[in-house]
Chains A and B, each alone.
Chain A
């Protein structure tokens, strides 16, 4: 079972690769507090779809776990799990534990 720091590192690496692919300059320096999706956040819906697919794939490769991030729980959550690197890290940890 990966620890939180390992999951956060995976998220940051995935966001970095996506920022390069989509040339998103607003995603220069990344840390747990970096906003990703929502009002005035740097990702549009298509970039978010790509990021989620990349992260699910990376989680499978690095942690040998099959997770679905955009599940019913995520869609009905009061606060979107995709709003920041920190919330995304937590959502991944929740699903790996489940």
Chain B
């Protein structure tokens, strides 16, 4: 049974991804700051902050003991805070960078160590269309995801020798808690900038992740795939 690690599985896209891969026959190791919101024979939950280095290392060691290794990692956990730059406190900047950048890096580092015995391991990071669209009000969120994209491209090169591919998917807005506070007018203006003008759905993300995870995708790495026709 293949093992997939998914961060941020308590709700939203992360929970849907966990349910999807459990149904597809994977062993899923998930995490969130709180307790698990799903139960399944093949689901193991770790309550942690993704930017807590010691906790991530401990999770990796536990996964190694329980499952031997890891075949795929989906770095889904992320936070946003829509605000004008003039009104954004440093504490918010630090919080977003810690979760989105440090958390993504720590999981890449620790899970890649556990992927070294796998013949075709996969890492999928999560970015956003807010970065290529230079979305006003999302300066720090978009900047954090720009860092994730850079991390993705460089890790693709560093981990290529270990047969680990590293790619990213950049969803458009999807009806989740992440965009709950965004005004409708803002959302409509954002959708107008997409080639395909509709809200994203979880199935769109699953489709892109599935593409990266396919065995046939072992020659695809360092790529960022934006949904909705955003370039």
Contact = CB atoms under 8 A, between A and B. Distances in A.
Interface of A: 46, 50, 53, 57, 60-61, 66
Contacts of B113: 53, 57
Contacts of A66: 54, 57
Contacts of B11: none
Contact of B61 (A46, A50, A53, A60): A60
Contacts of A57: 61, 64, 113
Contacts of B57: 66
Contacts of A61: 61
A61 B60 CA distance: 12
Contacts of B54: 66
Nearest to B112: A53
Contacts of B161: 46
Chain A to chain B: the 8 pairs with minimum beta-carbon distance, closest first: A53-B113, A46-B161, A60-B61, A50-B116, A66-B57, A57-B113, A66-B54, A53-B116
Secondary structure call for the A interface: helix
A50 B163 CA distance: 13
A57 B113 CA distance: 9
Secondary structure call for the B interface: helix
B109 to A, nearest CB: 9
Nearest to B116: A50
Given A50-B116, A57-B64, A61-B61, 8 more contacts: A46-B161, A53-B113, A53-B116, A57-B61, A57-B113, A60-B61, A66-B54, A66-B57
Contacts of A53: 113, 116
11 contacts: A46-B161, A50-B116, A53-B113, A53-B116, A57-B61, A57-B64, A57-B113, A60-B61, A61-B61, A66-B54, A66-B57
B57 to A, nearest CB: 7
B23 to A, nearest CB: 32
Interface string B137-180: 00000000000000000000000010000000000000000000
A97 B61 CA distance: 22
Contacts of A50: 116
Most buried by B among A53, A60, A61: A53
Contacts of A60: 61
Interface string B195-224: 000000000000000000000000000000
B155 to A, nearest CB: 13
A48 B225 CA distance: 33
A53 B54 CA distance: 16
Nearest to A60: B61
A57 to B, nearest CB: 7
A50 B57 CA distance: 17
Nearest to A44: B161
A66 to B, nearest CB: 7
Nearest to A61: B61
A61 B61 CA distance: 9
Interface string B51-64: 00010010001001
